Structure formats: structure tokens, C-alpha cells
Amino acid sequence: MADRAAQEPEFHLGLISGTSADGIDAALVSFEESPRLICGHTYAYPVALRTRVLELSQHDAPPLSLDAIGALHVEIGCAFADAAQKLIADSGADPARIRAIGSHGQTLRHRPSGEFPFSLQLGDASVIAERTGLTTVADFRARDVAAGGHGAPLMPAFHAAFLRDANEDRAVLNLGGIANFTLLPQHGDVRGFDTGPANGLMDAWAQRHMGKAFDAHGALAARGRVDAGLLAQLLADPWFALPPPKSTGRDQFHLDWLRARIADATPSAEDVQATVCELTAITVADALRATQPATARVLVCGGGVHNPVLLGRLAAHLPNVHIESTETHGLDPDFVEAMGFAWLARETLAGRPGNLPEVTGSRGPRVLGAIHAA
């Protein structure tokens, strides 16, 4: 029995809630040879908790007392622990086979520049470790920021390990709340950076004008027409002209940012959604042409993979590029990031660096995260 147990593969469990805060993505993964998703699920935040997270992630969020921040840190940790426990139950996996949890947490502020740069994720890892009884690795971004990097994006190392191809220039495009690229050239350094808003702005607009958390299948955008004047106003934001490495978040691209640029114009809700969708497609396409013009294939993951209107606009702006889901390469597009944080936990426990300095701008490779023993 002991020999058989020793031969059974160990699992790692990844947890993340992205800038859209639409739920906690949880992935149970085996890394025997290549990543294999054992079980993946998205668990919704309690409605009141999601509302608070979205409010606090805006640039003009109401002030919060230290007591409230501390309590929220623990509350989000409890939600993450619950998601991990539900996934273990849903998968039927033996908890004894789970080596560790890798928890990204919930980003509330991302300020990688300035005199005292930081990236703040809430979700107390001690609570996760205590409630699950599993070693938990968390706070992945802080060490890279301390080393002069942006602390983001962190997925390029994972993408490079499993999606790079020696025969073509590729790019991995994550369409989450924010859009970001991992560039995987045949030869040379891997690069990665944020390109601007993706689902975050479209979700916020859909919530306001449809009362829904997101624009399912891009239906609202499909009914609208791009407003050229508004699009020009959005594209004029200086952030888009910044060179990589760069990263951003909901505190940069938020509903008030959009409203300020609508100004005195009165486009319909449908036209605004179509315009924001076009903004995402254009900024993604422009960034790819500027940084890796010979790209043959873009592998898409994140919630935006389910938006045919957005994918159609991307294809229109990148007519010579083959655009396909990461699913065709063995990675479920809805759980690539959660799988990536499971992998980062594995790398941390092995004492291996998890960042790519050429991506984040840090002073060198660093072992990421803090380990909270079971």
C-alpha cells in the first residue's frame, strides 16, 4: 500500500480572483509530465463581498479603516479557503495527495511605480492554510516589486514552460479584466505585458446598463456601432503609449474613466459597449504588431475567449494571425491562471524562481511568495 501511495502523483491547487472579481477560479492540477487539469471550477463570491471588492478596487474608493481592511483580508481568505475545500470535495481527490495551494488572492491596488511601489492582494493565506490543513503559498507579486519589477504579469513563465514552440512565433493572450500578452518567439527572450482593458470595462458597463455581471456572448456590443469620437478619446490615454514592461488594473481603467471621456456626447449603451470592445481589440492588435510583428499564432485564454464579438474584432485587426483557444493545446482557457498559480506554488516549494526579469523589469530572477505551512 505504501509503495502504491508513493507512486501516485501529487497535486497542486491554484486559486485566483482576477480584476473582474467575478468569482474565485480554483484548479486542481497534476504536473507529472505536462499540466493536467484534474478539476476546475469558479465559485462565486457572496454578493455583498463582491460588491465591496468592486467598490474598493476603483480609484476613488471610499476610505476604509484599518479594522475594516483587516477584517476584509480575513473574509476574502475565508472565501478562498471555502473555494479550495469545495473543489477538493467536487473532485473527489484525496487531500493527502495535495502538496500545496498557490493563492494569488484578490488585487485591490496595483502601484508598481513611485517612491514606495506595491501590489496589494487580500486573502489571508494563514486562514487558507488553517481552514484547509494544506500548505499555502501566497503573496507572489511582492518580491518581484521589491526587486524593482512590476510584479506582473506572472504567467509568462508558466506559458513559456508549456506553450512555446520552436517552429513559430507565438503569443498567449489573456482576456481577463485586463488584457495581457506573453510573447513566445522561436528565438530570444520571452516578454509579457498588459495591453489595457478587456472584460473589466465591458463588465462594468453591462452591470450598469443591463443589471448583469457581464455581456454574455457580446450581445450588447453586437447591437451597437463603434463611436469614432469616443474611441479616439479612449485611445488618447497616455498609458497606451507607454513601452513595456507595463501593467495596470481596474484602478486605472474603470467606469469613471470611461464616463469622463463620454463627456457631453450621448451614445447609446450599445454603442458604448461596442466602442469599448473595439478599444480592447485595437490596443491588443497594436501592441502585438509593435512588439512581435511576425507572430503566427495567438492562443487565447480568460473570460474573453467566450465573447465571439471581441474575438471577431481581434481577427479583423490581425488578419494574418491564427487565433485559437489554449484549449487546443491542452490548457482549459477558463483555468489557465489558476493552473499557473498552482505551478508557481510548486516552483516556490522547489526553490526555483517564478518571475521572468525581462517581463516584469525586476533586477533578476526571484523565488516568489511566502510559504504558510500546513
235-266 pLDDT tens trace: 999 999 999 989 888 778 989 899 999 976 67
Residue 60, pLDDT score? 67
In whole angstroms, what is the distance from residue 195 CA to residue 181 CA?
7
- What are the residue ranges in the chain where pLDDT is below 70? 1-7, 58-60, 264-265
Q: Nearest 5°: phi and psi at 150?
A: -85, -10
- Amino acid identity at 302: G
Residue 88, pLDDT score? 98
Q: Which residue matches cell numbers 476546475?
A: 40
Q: Which domains are seen in the chain, by residue range?
A: 8-151+335-372 (3.30.420.40), 156-329 (3.30.420.40)
Pairing outcome for strands 136-138 and 118-122? unpaired
Residue 231, pLDDT score? 96
The secondary structure of residue 62, as a DSSP letter, is P
Q: Is 370 exposed, middle or buried (0-12, 13-18, 19+ CB in 10 A)?
A: middle
Residue 264, pLDDT score? 65
In whole angstroms, what is the distance from residue 226 CA to residue 205 CA?
15
CA distances from 21 to 129, 206, 227 (A): 22, 14, 28
